[in-house]
Amino acid sequence: MEAHFTPVRRHAEAGISIVEVLVATCVMAIGFIAVWTSAGQCIRFAQSHRETIAATETLMRRVEDCRAAGWNTIVSADSIKADILQSPAADGSYLNNLEEQITVTPYPAVTPAPTPIVVQRHSNGLVEIISQPTAGLYLRSLLAVRADLQVTWTSDHDARRRQRMYSTVISMEGLLR
């Protein structure tokens, strides 16, 4: 019987080469960058979502303000300016450079279309009447009007102007006079 000796491999005792260390470091760096990037995107998404929720809440409060104000208020540009848009929106503090606009038109639409009531609240708090019908009592004689509410703001994370709109029909019979 002849014995064969196999040489003992010394891989268990061998060190790690610099190339292996660099490759491992690059793989770890890529992993950390991926985690950091997705965390940043999640934060931006959450900020954008918070702004959208604040804008929606602002619109809903203004719709309720319009409905609660009464028929004579919603069909008068001066009353919208003084009673609805004079005070800042409750959720507006979450939105940069918030501007609000209320447009009131006849419902259903008539031909020829009269000049709508358009009242705007600027980001500095100034409220102005953009347009109103020449015959001030015209809208009061209608049974319903369409109110288009719009908020515009500057987004925190990318400085873009964003906009949210809501339209509703308000009837004379559905409100207290």
pLDDT at 6 over 80: no
Residue 137 has pLDDT above 60, yes or no: no
Higher pLDDT, 111 or 77: 77
Over residues 25-82, the pLDDT tens digits come to 999 999 989 888 888 888 888 888 889 999 999 999 999 888 888 888 998 999 999 9
pLDDT attached to residue 13 = 57
- What is the spatial distance between Cα 104 and Cα 167, in angstroms, rounded to a whole number? 10
The residue that leads in pLDDT, 100 or 91, is: 100
Residue matched to tokens 């014995």: 3
pLDDT, averaged across the chain: 85
pTM for the model: 0.76
- State the pLDDT at residue 5: 63
Work out whether the CA dihedral 32, 35, 37, 39 comes out positive or negative: negative
Q: Per-residue pLDDT for 136 more than 80?
A: no
- Total count of residues recorded for the chain: 177
**Mean pLDDT confidence for 121-139:** 84
- Local confidence band at 156 (pLDDT 50, 70, 90 cut-offs): confident
Give the burial class of 77: count Cβ atoms within 10 A of its Cβ; 0-12 exposed, 13-18 middle, 19 or more buried. buried
pLDDT at residue 1 greater than cutoff 70: no
pLDDT, residue 177, reads: 37
